[in-house]
Structure 1
Amino acid sequence: MDQFQLVCPCVLGVEGLVAEELRDMGAQQVEPQNGRVVFAGSEEMLARANLCSRYSERVLVLLGTFRAVTFEQLFQGVKALPWEQWIGKLDKFPVKGRSLSSQLSSVPDCQSIIKKAIVERLKMKYRIPWFEESGDMYQVQFLILKDTVSVMLDTSGVGLHKRGYRPNAAEAPIKETLAASMAKLARLWPDSHVYDPFCGSGTILIESALLAMNIAPGLQRRFAAQSWKGVDESVWVRERERAQDLVRRDSTFLATGYDIDGAAVALTLENAKKAGVIAHIRAEKRDIRDFAEEGERGCVICNPPYGERLLDLSQAEELYTAMGQRFVPKRGWSYHIISPDETFESCFGRPADKRRKLYNGMIKCQLYSYFKA
């Protein structure tokens, strides 16, 4: 298995960032699609994408794509795929997936058909009547979109946003992958100073530090494919060493967090320590109304509380007004605020210099960026 097709699902709106980082990693035939990026790579690229991708949700092996409008077509299409190249006689292979705008709309029925087709293929290849499924985990995923079936194996296990540093999170946390995307869109440098006046559990600060210092986000965790027989353990060892070598240890990056909740401040520092970036992060209890720019340059990135999250609408709008008063246009300073509230700019007091549509979970948001003095 020298080269195979891989897929990185991602949050809507960050496909371009995922494609760019995969190309930078050396991936071939990179093709951004709606909510995912398809690319070609070796087992090295499989490991590298898991360890180093900041913006993807997971890494999947794409085993095949075909059209199916009947259960028989689905069964035969799945059965024709080379499952025995991956799944051993004892391995577990549960099936999950989804169907969108397709004639085969019942997900439970599709799961059952796909499972049966895999079993029939493996029975034929291994010449055994049943499978005890006590070995390694090979999670099968499928997507049926407009009658086109994609069948995949999940190499990541737990989603890639689970970096390993945040077992504890403040109320309504932002996903690590989205925080990393915001940091990238804010155009951080290794010597940037980032501020988050609503730091919560510190996710934006930590992801900004990992990006600025080029620390691979997956260094502290394991992945499902590390136990797979088809991917040699030495590949993972080499890729971890490669990622360690790329860390910018001389970075002067600094991140400062504020929060009105003292427990959130303590949590930010605790999580920064777990992430290995505590030397670059400080945090203190402070209200947004006491925010003031310090120094010639700074970059504010934040996810303020809002109506659908923690505050009622009138409280959120008061907060946006206070932010507009404190986030003053100033040469060398930029402000990047994610919000689902369509009245944000009017409450803030001025239109954004740039807007970008992003999703925070299932909530459609805008990233409002201000950088003109």
Structure 2
Amino acid sequence: MSKIKVACPCIFGLESVLSAEVKKLGVQNIEVTDGRVTFMGDLEDVAKANIWLRTAERVLIVLGSFRAETFEELFQGVKALEFENFIRKEDAFPVKGWSLNSKLHSVPDCQSIVKRAIVKRLSEKYGQNWFEETGCRVQVQFSILKNIVTVMLDTSGAGLHKRGYRQNANIAPIKETLAAGIVDLARIRNDSLVYDPFCGSGTLLIEAALYALNIAPGINRRFSAERWSIFSDDTFKRVRREALEQIDRKASFRGYGYDIDPAAVELTQENARKAGVANRFQIAQRDIADFHTDELRALILTNPPYGERMLEVKEAQKIYRTMGRVFERRKYLSYYIISPDEQFEDLFGSGADRRRKLYNGMIKCQLYMYFKGEPEKPAAARQENRNE
């Protein structure tokens, strides 16, 4: 099969991080747009992307794009795509999608047209008019943005943030892919020492360990495309074996996690065991007011609590003030704190050295990065353009 176009959506704000990850795959024609990175590759690259990419939400094969303002144009555009290269006559091919700022705005109608067009295409190729769809599932996705239709196949199945280690979570978990992006921005190394004083379900610590030890995030899970006929040559198994060989078992990475909630401590320990990195951590119950480290060099990555109701917001802001008091600003201690509170820097007591806008689910946040040692005054810090 010739080179195929692959699209990997990501959380807004992590495009540059994902692009750097994709470059490491050795693929060609990498393009970055809002919330998405695309590239040209082969089937092995599809497997590598699923198993190795830490900040991608999915890996999608792009069958084609075209303009459509009528249902007939939509039907003919879809029918022209080579579905038979991926879908056998016995396979299931459900369709889902969305439309935005387009003349074809009825998603159910578009869904029906796309399905009929695929059936027509496969009927002509396989010489049959009825498809039982009892075989493996090949999920078809379409998007219609400003009358441009893009048709894709989802190779991942469950979202790539589902690594397999976090079947249980606390009340407000940070998404694994977002945590991995923060870890990348913090420049974790194989000898890093990482703290999370609000460890919750352990996601930031676990993603830091996976990164430091060069453990592929998808190494222990399965993907929809593994059951497709075009991957019957054990492509995914081969990529997994290679990933196992690349784990840095000699890395000296260590992590410390604290939480005031004993249930969170237990949950972090459980998830770390599932991820296979529990021996890298020390987890304990501790209040943020008691946080301290004597280490000369360390990284503090954390997602402190925040509230939606007024009382909860006041409690969260009290915590931010405490953080500002106990987080020492000295050389070789770096802090990466994600929060939706626009007053965070004032409450924390110093302006961040850099900020990056990120989304935790649907909540707009800032990643506040402190790495220069001596604190700045928040007002002075805001006068500089540090937003990325």
TM-score (norm. length: structure 2): 0.94
Matched with 1:20 is: 20
Cα deviation, 1:81-139, whole Å, max 9, x if unaligned, reads 01111111111111111112222122111111111110111111111121111110000
How far, CA to CA, are the matches of 1:286 and 1:239 in structure 2?
Answer: 41
Matched, 1:184 2:184: yes
- Give me the whole-angstrom Cα distance separating, in 1, the residues matched to 2:311 and 2:250: 40
In 1, distance between residues paired with 2:175 and 2:94? 26
SS at match of 1:244: helix
Which deviations, in whole Å up to 9, do the C-alpha atoms of 1:24-47 show, x marking residues without a partner?
A: 111111101111111011111000
Letter in 2 for 1:230: I
> Is structure 2 residue 235 aligned with structure 1 residue 271?
no
Distance 1:343 1:87 in 2: 52
Q: Does 1:128 align with 2:128?
A: yes
Query: Structure 2 counterpart of 1:43, which letter?
Result: L
Instruction: Measure the CA separation in 1 of the matches of 2:360 and 2:100.
Output: 21
Q: Give the C-alpha shift of residue 308 in structure 1.
A: 3.2
Give the aligned partner of residue 175 of structure 2.
175
Aligned-partner SS, 2:234: helix
Cα distance in 1 between the residues matched to 2:354 and 2:173: 24
> What is the aligned partner in structure 1 of residue 287 from structure 2?
287
Instruction: Please name the residue that 1:334 is paired with.
Output: 334
The answer (yes or no) to whether the contact 1:7–1:62 under 8 Å persists in 2 is yes
User: Deviations for 1:174-199, whole angstroms, at most 9, x for unmatched residues?
Assistant: 11000000111111111111111110
The structural deviation recorded for 1:5 is: 0.5
How far residue 237 of structure 1 moved from its aligned partner, in angstroms, is: 1.8
Retained in 2: the 8 A contact 1:172–1:310? no
List aligned pairs for 1:28-177, cutoff 5 A: 28-177=28-177
Question: Which region of structure 1 is more displaced relative to structure 2, 301-310 or 25-34?
Answer: 301-310
Secondary structure at 1:112 match in 2: helix
2:4 partner amino acid:
F
* Per-residue deviation, 1:148: 0.9
Whole-Å Cα distance in 1 between the matches of residues 310 and 20 of structure 2? 34
What is the 5 A alignment of 1:174-253? 174-253=174-253
The CA deviation at 1:295 is 1.0
- Measured in 2, the distance between the counterparts of 1:178 and 1:251 equals 23
Cα 1:357–1:28 shift into 2, 3 Å: same
Deviates more, 1:337-346 or 1:227-236: 227-236
Q: RMSD of aligned C-alpha atoms?
A: 1.2
**What is the number of equivalent residue pairs in this alignment?**
373
Question: How big is the shift at 1:16?
Answer: 0.9
- CA distance, structure 2, for counterparts of residue 294 and residue 115 of structure 1: 62
SS at match of 1:337: strand
Hey, what's the Cα distance between the residues in 1 that align with 2:233 and 2:170?
A: 36
Q: Match of 1:38, SS?
A: strand
Per mean C-alpha deviation after superposition, the further-off stretch among 96-105 and 286-295 is 96-105
Q: 1-side partners of 2:309 and 2:207: how far apart?
A: 21
CA distance in 1, matches of 2:311, 2:154: 37
Letter in 2 for 1:186: A
Q: CA deviation at 1:310?
A: 11
CA distance in structure 1 between the aligned counterparts of 2:293 and 2:98, rounded to whole angstroms: 47
Deviation at 1:294, TM superposition (A): 2.5
Aligned to 1:348: 348
Q: How far 1:234 sits from its partner (Å)?
A: 2.2
Q: Is the 8 A contact 1:2 1:43 kept in 2?
A: no
Structure 2 SS opposite 1:44? helix
Q: Percent identity?
A: 57
2:381 is aligned to none
Indicate if the aligned counterparts of 1:305 and 1:311 stay in contact, CA closer than 8 A: no
Q: Which residue of 2 aligns with 1:10?
A: 10
Deviation of 1:2 after TM superposition, in Å, equals 3.3
> Deviation of residue 311 (structure 1)?
6.7
* Secondary structure, counterpart of 2:207 in structure 1: helix
For 1:143 and 1:309, the matched residues in 2 are separated by 36
Aligned position for 1:260: 260
CA distance in 1, matches of 2:368, 2:330: 16
State the distance in 2 between where 1:7 and 1:310 align.
41
- 1:192/1:253 contact within 8 Å kept: yes
Distance in 2 (CA, whole Å) between partners of 1:144 and 1:158 is: 23
Q: Is the 8 A contact 1:172 1:309 kept in 2?
A: no
